Structure 1
C-alpha cells in the first residue's frame, strides 16, 4: 500500500482510502483499499472500493485522489492511468450513502493537458473559494520544475482548465528542493493562513520529501481566479520514510487532519528492508497515525491527533518498551531511542517537549515547534525499543491499547 486517498466524513464515520495492491507487496495494478472509523481509534476494513477497469481510463491503475460529498453523494476523484508515462486523466466514481459500495462508470472530468511543456500530471485535489469549487492537479514542467494546474470544478464531471495556480518558478516555492514534479497537492486553511503541500517527486530515485508553502489565497479581481501568494516554505517531515500525505479539514472545519504514507525506506546507516524482505513478509507500506496540522508563524507543525491520547494504557519502563508505545520527553539534554544496538532517533532537547509514537516498524517523532520525523525500524526477535537520556531529560512512557468500551 502507499498514498492515503479519498478521506471524507459521512454518516458519523471517517472513511480513509489508500493505494493498494491486494495481490502482492509490489506496486502493481493499484486499487483503492478502504477502512473507516467513528473515532480515529477503531478501524474497520471494508471491501476494495475501486479497481482498474479493463478498457477504461484507469485500466493500469486507480491512482491518488480525494473524496468529496457532491450534493451529499460520496464521490471519489482520482487519477486514472492506462500506462506509466506520466499521463493521467481525472476519473469520477460515486458511492452509496455509507461509502461502502462504489460504481465506476469511467467518467473523465479532465483529460491530459495539451501543453507540451507539461511532462506529467496526477493527483487531483478539490477546494472551495469565493463560493465556487476549484481543483488542482500536481504536475511537472520541462527543466525539472513543479507546478499546480488550476481548474474550475463547479460541475464535478466536467472541469475547466485555467492554467497554473503556482509553479516552482515562484520566489518562495523556489526555496524547496528542485524535483521533476509536484505530486499529491493539498491546499488547506489553518487559522488565517493557507498551506500548500506538495510531494517532491523524482522518477526512479528516492523522493525529496514533502514541501509546504504558507501564504494567502484569494480571488484575483481581474481574472476572477484563485491567486496564491506564498510567504514561507519548508519541509513538512524530515524522515526519509514520509511521503504523499493527504490533509482534510475535520468534520467541524476547525482543524486540519493529515495522514501520510510511511514507505519501506530507512535512514542512512539504519537496518533496512529490501523488496525481497517485503515479498517474504507479504506486505509493504503503511499509513501514519492521524496528525493535526497547524501553522505557527512561518512554520508548519504536525502533532498526533488529540484522539490518540485515549490509546495510553498503563505506564511502562522507558528502558524496556513494548512494540506499541508512546514516549514523552522533556527537559534539557540528549536523548536516544534505540532498538537493540541500533540508534533509531537521537535528539537534543532544549527545554522543549518531544512526543514519540511507536507501532512495531514505524516510529513517529514530534518535537514541539520543530519538524516531525517519520522513521522505519524493524524489531528482530528478542529486540525491544528503549530510551536512554542524560540526567536533565525526563521520560514517561505508556503501552498503547484500544480503550475499553
Structure 2
C-alpha cells in the first residue's frame, strides 16, 4: 500500500506538510507527526525529511517535540534559508484552538537539530473575539517580513491576521489581512475559521490559499486572487481549489523559483504496516485571469497520463487528478 511518489512516514501518523525549503542543493520538508500512533493526537511533533528532487524523500529524526511548555507542536513555517527560522503553533492539550506562535532555530548546518526560543513571538490582538488561532506563514512581501496566521472569530467569521517585521525579530500587529463570514456563499463557502493560510506572489497578482475549517471538521482548500494594498489583502475572486483528500496546503518556491503547493492527503494509510497519512506531489501555481490553476510539477509531469481532458497521476493507492479547469487535483484512494 505504500506509494512510491507520495511521501509517507516510516511509521506513525503524518498530516500537514510545511516549510519546504531549497537549501545547499537539496529540499527540506517538515510535517506534523505523531510517532507511534496511527491516529491524530494533540501531541503533534515536527517531523523532517530531505530530497534531491521533491519526489523521493528520506525521513530524518524528529526536530521538535512537545515538552512542559507546550502540549503540541502544530503547523507553521520555515524562513530564511541562510540562517533558518521556524515559526510554529504551540497549543495546550486542554485548549488547543487558541495557540501561540513560537520560534525555533537550528543548532547545526544540517537542520537536523533545532532549539526552541523562549517566549511567544507575536502579541495577540485584544480587539478581536478569537476562538481559533494557529498556523503562522512568513514571507517577505517586498517591503517587510509579514507573518500571516489563520483565525476564527466568535461570530463565525474566518480570518487571516498579520504581523510585520523588518528583521524577523520584533513583530508589530498589522490587523486583519482579510476575512469572510460563514454566511458568505458566493461564489464559494469558506467556513468559520481558516487553517494554514498561505500568501504568495503568482505572476502579477497575490494569491491567498486557505484551508477551510468549520464545526471541528477539515473541509477543503480555497483560494483568492487579489492585491496586497498596505496591510490588507483585497480579493478580486474566490474559488474552491481542491476536492477529495487534499487539505492543509503549504506554499513554497522550488529551486527554479516557481510558486508551488504541497498538500496533506487524508485517508491514505496502511494500518497493518504501521503508518497513516501521506503528502501530495508538488503542484505548480499559475493564473488564468483571476483564477488559480494548478498543474503537476515538472518533477512528476512525465509520470502523468491524459484521461480525456484531465491529467492523471497514478501511484499505487493514490490517484491525483488535475481537472480541465486546472483546479487542484481530485484525489481518490481506492
Q: Same fold (TM over 0.5)?
A: yes
Match of 2:188 among 173, 176, 182: 176
Match of 2:29 among 2, 9, 16: 16
Distance in 2 (CA, whole Å) between partners of 1:327 and 1:75 is 39
Cα distance change of structure 1 residues 18 and 287 upon mapping to structure 2, 3 Å threshold: same
User: Is 1:108–1:157's contact at 8 Å kept on the other side of the alignment?
Assistant: no
Give the alignment of 1:57-96 within 5 angstroms.
59-69=70-80, 72-83=82-93, 84-95=95-106, 96=108
What is the DSSP-based 3-state SS (H/G/I as helix, E as strand, rest coil) of the residue aligned with 2:276?
coil
The alignment's C-alpha RMSD in Å is 2.3
Q: What is the match of residue 155 of structure 2?
A: 143
Distance in 2 (CA, whole Å) between partners of 1:107 and 1:100 is 22
Between structure 1 and structure 2, the one with the greater Rg is: 1
Superimposed CA distance per residue, residues 364-399 of structure 1 (whole angstroms, 9 cap, x where no aligned partner)? 001243423332324xxxxxxxxxxxxxxxxxxxxx
TM-score, normalised relative to structure 1: 0.73
Q: What is the match of residue 318 of structure 2?
A: 362
User: Is 1:4–1:245's contact at 8 Å kept on the other side of the alignment?
Assistant: yes
- Structure 2: 5+ residue stretches without partners: 1-13
User: Is 2:210–2:221's contact at 8 Å kept on the other side of the alignment?
Assistant: yes
Query: Is 1:158 aligned to 2:151, yes or no?
Result: no
Q: What is the match of residue 333 of structure 1?
A: none
Superimposed CA distance per residue, residues 98-151 of structure 1 (whole angstroms, 9 cap, x where no aligned partner)? 322211233421244334511110000112224311111000012211011110
Q: 1:169 offset after TM fit, Å?
A: 4.9
Cα distance change of structure 1 residues 188 and 172 upon mapping to structure 2, 3 Å threshold: farther
Distance in 1 (CA, whole Å) between partners of 2:114 and 2:51 is 18
Q: What is the match of residue 128 of structure 1?
A: 140
- Greater RCO (Cα-Cα under 8 Å, separation 6 or more): 2
What is the DSSP-based 3-state SS (H/G/I as helix, E as strand, rest coil) of the residue aligned with 2:243?
coil
Cα distance change of structure 1 residues 218 and 33 upon mapping to structure 2, 3 Å threshold: same
- Structure 1: 5+ residue stretches without partners: 220-225, 266-272, 313-325, 331-352, 379-405
What is the DSSP-based 3-state SS (H/G/I as helix, E as strand, rest coil) of the residue aligned with 1:86?
strand
Distance in 2 (CA, whole Å) between partners of 1:290 and 1:369 is 18
Give the alignment of 1:2-401 within 5 angstroms.
2-28=15-41, 29-54=43-68, 56=69, 59-69=70-80, 72-83=82-93, 84-95=95-106, 96-169=108-181, 175-205=187-217, 207-219=218-230, 226-239=231-244, 241-253=245-257, 255-264=258-267, 279-309=271-301, 312=303, 326-330=304-308, 353-378=309-334
User: Is 2:283–2:297's contact at 8 Å kept on the other side of the alignment?
Assistant: yes
Cα distance change of structure 1 residues 107 and 7 upon mapping to structure 2, 3 Å threshold: farther
Q: 1:17 offset after TM fit, Å?
A: 0.6
Distance in 2 (CA, whole Å) between partners of 1:262 and 1:107 is 33
User: Is 2:181–2:192's contact at 8 Å kept on the other side of the alignment?
Assistant: no
TM-score, normalised relative to structure 2: 0.88
User: Is 1:11–1:98's contact at 8 Å kept on the other side of the alignment?
Assistant: no
